Amino acid sequence: MSTTMANISAAQVKDLREKTGAPMMDCKHALTEAKGDLEQAIVLLRKKGVSVAAKKAARVTSEGSVAHYIHAGGKIGVLVEVNCESDFVARTDDFKELIHDIAMHIAASDPKFVRKEDVTPEAFEREKDIYRAQAAATGKPAPVVEKIVAGKMEKFYEEVCLLDQPFIKDQTISIAQLIAAKVGKLGENIAVRRFARFKVGDVTATVAFVSTKPDEGGEASAPVAK
């Protein structure tokens, strides 16, 4: 029997909404397309979110909010600015939940940059030289060494760039995918602008900015990661 929207139960829709936060009709369509398979429906909704986010990426994000998160009995503190297109969206529970989750993630994962484009040339070359020396020490041919280095650099981005890191509450998605899902649901472009992370006892703090706004071509503050 073919799967139609009429065959999808309210319980299935409720379960998918709880797992993804997507609107009811989007959940129904995804479950129908996935023939009732919950996991496949989740994948379809994530793909839709990424697609919508890509289409809206050039739209100006001049509104938004600053969130804070305090962890470990006051030992770690985070401030993060996340931008959107309208004050209306900035005041929604969905947007507030998103920036809280991002602040919490930063506290736990300690990223050094917002995006891979913000990695400083010094940090990039330092890591690349280390990986190249390690790979060369294995005695492998130069082309193989370069492939190893490229793979290591992608892993490096996952470790130090907020948007590339696996989300602390769901390791199957990145922070970029988490944001894309909210873009798909809220219908507005959303972008992390900057964050700061402080830890008691550390003489330096991690302070990171996007080097240029995703929706602007002009210059902004250079990224700083200490």
For the segment 144-185, what is each residue's pLDDT rounded down to a tens digit? Answer: 888 998 888 888 999 999 999 999 999 988 999 999 888 888
CA distance 103 to 49: 21
Highest mean pLDDT among 134-138, 172-176, 177-181, 194-198: 194-198
pLDDT at 58 over 90: no
For residues 150 and 143, the answer to whether their CB atoms sit within 8 Å is no
pLDDT band per the 50, 70, 90 thresholds, residue 115: very high
Q: In what order do the strands lie in the sheet with 63-71?
A: 63-71, 76-84, 191-199, 206-209
Question: What's the fold here for domain 121-157?
Answer: GTP Cyclohydrolase I; Chain A, domain 1 (1.10.286)
Burial of 19 (0-12, 13-18, 19+ CB in 10 A): middle
pLDDT given at position 192: 96
Other beta carbons within 10 Å of 87: 11
Range from 4-8, 123-127, 157-161, 174-178 carrying the lowest mean pLDDT: 4-8
| Contact present, 75 and 49 (Cβ < 8 Å) | no
The pLDDT, as a whole number, for residue 5 is 57
So what's the pLDDT on residue 223? 37
pLDDT confidence of residue 102:
98
Look at domain 59-118+161-209 and name its CATH class. Answer: alpha beta
Output 74 or 60, whichever has higher pLDDT. Answer: 74
Please give the model's pTM, rounded to 2 decimal places: 0.72
Query: Do 121-157 and 59-118+161-209 have the same topology in CATH?
Result: no
Q: Which long-range contacts (C-beta less than 8 Å, at least 24 apart) are formed by 37-44?
A: 38/12, 41/16, 42/16
The fold adopted by the segment(s) 5-55 is Helicase, Ruva Protein; domain 3 (1.10.8)
What is the CB neighbour count within 10 angstroms for residue 174?
18
Which two three-digit tokens encode residue 166?
Answer: 């696996």
Q: What are phi and psi of 120, to 5 degrees?
A: -70, 150
pLDDT, position 40: 86
pLDDT level of residue 225 (50, 70, 90 thresholds):
very low
Cα dihedral angle (43, 48, 49, 50), rounded to 10 degrees?
90
- Domain spans of the chain? 5-55, 59-118+161-209, 121-157
